[in-house]
Amino acid sequence: MYKRKKGSYLPYALIAPSILIIVLFLVVPLIFSLYVSLWRSDFMNFSKFLGFGNYLKLLGDSDILFSILRTFCISFISLVISLILGVSLALWLNSLSAGIAFVIEILILIPWVTSMVVSTLQWKWLFQDDLGLINYILSLFGLQRQGFLSDKNLAMYTLIFVMTWRIVAYVMVQILAGLKGIPKEYDEAAKIDGANKFQIFSKIRLPLLKTPIAISAIIIGLSNLNNVTVPLTLTGGGPGRSTMVIAIEAYEQSFSYGHFGESSALSILLCVINFILIVLYIKAVKYEI
């Protein structure tokens, strides 16, 4: 076994650049955000120390609380759907021959590798009330045009759809990699013991896929929670406040109103929520790094 020589600084030197980057671009801004959140700092003009005043103000604002709740709902529904679809697609692809699976895999991966803004704008045009292709197709079948983006009851589902469409491919790749890592002997042994397909999946594959599912859930859950690009580009939080998520609230507080204190407080709250979720996820799935 390798034993580090006493006084060798090579390992430290090797990790130093990464640590430096993390400190500079993650830790320092985080601490600065925390500092900003304690002040009335309109346009970064630190005019009054408020302590936790910004936090209390935000948590006492029903609009903000609804935005937090809405963000959780959208993220959770999108997460569940993408996990179900991702696992299903991975199982299907795993059963196909290598060539066909390769082609389908590439096709399914396109949404994940396409720029988020570009793909969201495309969906926005497809979902348009009057010129949108989807409404045009509906009208060809004699169906009524739908306000996918203008009907406040429908807009949230449209947003969930676009967010999910993007991340399904990522889940699929993760799960497929996990499936490929399961030795075929396990399946064969189970078959000999008389297990059916469902039993093989639920008793053998699923437990072995726990880690890739957990990783996917953590990553896409956090990605959904913090996603500002898709909601901002697709609906801008509207109509009304029907798709207003916490990331847009933070964006608006800073870039529409210049209220960097409130915006930083919201970002810190989001960061805490993220942190709690990561811990919960890891505890729940007993995922060991």
Confirm or reject binding of residue 267 to another protein (CB under 8 A): no
- Interaction residues for another protein, span 214-243 (CB under 8 A): 232, 235-242
Interface size with another protein, residues (CB under 8 A): 32
What is the CA angle 49-51-57, rounded to 5?
A: 105
In the bound state with another protein, the residue whose beta carbon lies nearer, of 181 and 236, is 236
| Residue from 14, 131, 192, 289 in contact with another protein (CB under 8 A) | 131
Q: How far is the CB of 274 from another protein (least distance, A)?
A: 23
Site string for another protein, 144-163 (x = CB under 8 A): ---x-xx-x--x--------
Confirm or reject binding of residue 54 to another protein (CB under 8 A): no
Phi, psi of 157 (to 5 degrees): -70, -35
The Cα–Cα gap between 36 and 277 comes to 24
In the bound state with another protein, the residue whose beta carbon lies nearer, of 114 and 239, is 239
For residue 250, count other CB atoms closer than 10 A to its CB.
24
In the bound state with another protein, the residue whose beta carbon lies nearer, of 145 and 287, is 145
Q: How far is the CB of 115 from another protein (least distance, A)?
A: 15
Q: Which long-range contacts (CB under 8 A, 24 or more apart) does 116-121 make?
A: 116/166, 116/229, 116/230, 116/233, 117/229, 117/233, 119/162, 119/166, 120/162, 120/229, 120/230, 120/233, 120/234, 121/233
- Interaction residues for another protein, span 240-259 (CB under 8 A): 240-242, 254-259
**Is 106 buried (19+), middle (13-18) or exposed (0-12) by CB count in 10 A?**
exposed
| Residue from 30, 34, 40, 211 in contact with another protein (CB under 8 A) | 40
For residue 196, count other CB atoms closer than 10 A to its CB.
10
In the bound state with another protein, the residue whose beta carbon lies nearer, of 130 and 288, is 130
Confirm or reject binding of residue 187 to another protein (CB under 8 A): no
Interface stretch with another protein, choices 37-45, 181-189, 221-229, 270-278 (CB under 8 A): 37-45
Confirm or reject binding of residue 129 to another protein (CB under 8 A): yes
Cβ 109 vs Cβ 284: under 8 Å: no
For residue 186, count other CB atoms closer than 10 A to its CB.
14
- The DSSP code for 47 is E
Confirm or reject binding of residue 53 to another protein (CB under 8 A): no
Burial call 144-178: b when 16+ CB within 10 Å, e when fewer: eebbbbbeeebbbebbbbbbbbbbbbbbbbbbbeb
Residues in the site for another protein, rule: CB under 8 A? 40, 42-46, 124, 128-131, 147, 149-150, 152, 155, 232, 235-242, 254-260
